[in-house]
Structure 1
Amino acid sequence: MKLVVLYGPPAAGKYTIAKAIAENLGYKLFHNHLTVDLLKNVFEFGSPGFFELSQTIRLLIFERATQQNVTGIVFTFVYEKDVDDNFVRKLIKTVTSNGGEIVFIQIDCEKDELLKRVTDESRKAFKKVRSQEGLLATLNSRDITSAIDFVDSYRIENTNLSVQETVEKALEIIKAD
């Protein structure tokens, strides 16, 4: 199995790009809000154990997908430096120890562009952060724009790229890796 991990700040376009990549390659799409929204039906977001349970579910899915020879998955999430490092290490171990491979691609754009995109109507479907104030608070209080510094990671800066141009760059990376 090939796992494509798209990570970056909210409103960078991860879901839109991931959906197009998955359709193009015939991969499954496993976006951040599948587990977040599942858990929010039972638990308060950020409550004790919320993120641990989210990570456990994700790792189990990746383990089973690798064992059952799923061709590929495109996974999106917001990486927070230091906070998510243990999860990323477990993810690598889970996938590679079962014969899979991983490609990490950071999707990023300038802050002003993030602030424009965050209010887009398309974000409503998954109850994503949709206010500029909420995004600014997150950007100012958490390190969610850094690259994962202990993995080989590609970066696509898409401030001035169309969705299609960004997808094409990502596909080039995935196919070459």
Structure 2
Amino acid sequence: MIIHLNGWPGVGKYTVGKIVAERLRARFLDNHTLLNIAIALTDRGTPEYYELATKTRNLAFEAILRLPSSEPVVMTGVVASGGSHDFLIDNWKAILSLAERRERGVYSIVLTCSEDENARRMSNEDREAHRKKRNLSMPREFSSEVPK
């Protein structure tokens, strides 16, 4: 089984993912573990960034395939504006392929929170230490993109 937690930056995917993984005795792979290499070594949004992020993801997914298929995996992803649509689609297809190759289901869960809570979480200084975005206008921009 693969549980995929998705949502806007700052909604608590990492926090919830860690708790779920602990309770299920599952492996936990958050999106920043995959993206931090590309963030550190390339400029975000460039072709080099997406190439390195894809290679890192593929290596991680190959390692997941070596785990017993009965071992659950909890993963996080991010809904984001300004990114490469092709990268997001390719990433989702890779997750579906991973689940198929493991002969296990994938359960996708979208996390949300209020604008105020999202803004509070985005302002947390610990986010920078983990190379997470802290743009305080992001929650309001994101909420305006979501159909009401």
Q: TM-score range by the shorter chain?
A: 0.7 to 0.9
Please point out which of 139, 144, 164 is paired with 2:142.
139
Q: Give yes or no for contact 1:7–1:77 (8 Å, CA) kept in 2.
A: yes
Please point out which of 125, 128, 131 is paired with 2:132.
128
Name the structure, 1 or 2, with higher relative contact order (CA <8 Å, separation 6+).
Answer: 2
Q: Per-residue deviation at 1:59?
A: 3.6
Unmatched tracts of structure 1, length 5 or more: 147-177
Counterparts in 2 of 1:99 and 1:63: CA distance versus 1, 3 Å: farther
The match for 2:10 is 11
The match for 1:112 is 116
**SS of residue matched to 1:97:** helix
Q: Per-residue deviation at 1:127?
A: 1.9
Name whichever structure is richer in helix by fraction. 2
Deviations 1:56-91 (A, max 9, x none): 432442243134315122111113589222321232
The match for 1:92 is 96
Counterparts in 2 of 1:59 and 1:137: CA distance versus 1, 3 Å: farther
- Structure-1-length-normalised TM-score: 0.68
**Aligned-residue CA RMSD in angstroms?**
2.7
Range 91-100 or range 13-22, more displaced: 91-100
**SS of residue matched to 1:38:** helix
Partner AA of 1:13 in structure 2: G
Alignment partner of 1:78 is 2:78: yes
- Partners of 2:25 and 2:10 in 1: CA distance: 24
- Structure-2-length-normalised TM-score: 0.79
Q: Give yes or no for contact 2:9–2:79 (8 Å, CA) kept in 1.
A: no
Partner AA of 2:73 in structure 1: I
Alignment partner of 1:21 is 2:24: no
Q: Per-residue deviation at 1:105?
A: 0.5
Deviations 1:91-142 (A, max 9, x none): 2023213312211000011223211211123423312112313x2586279x
Counterparts in 2 of 1:34 and 1:47: CA distance versus 1, 3 Å: same
Moved over 3 A (4+): none
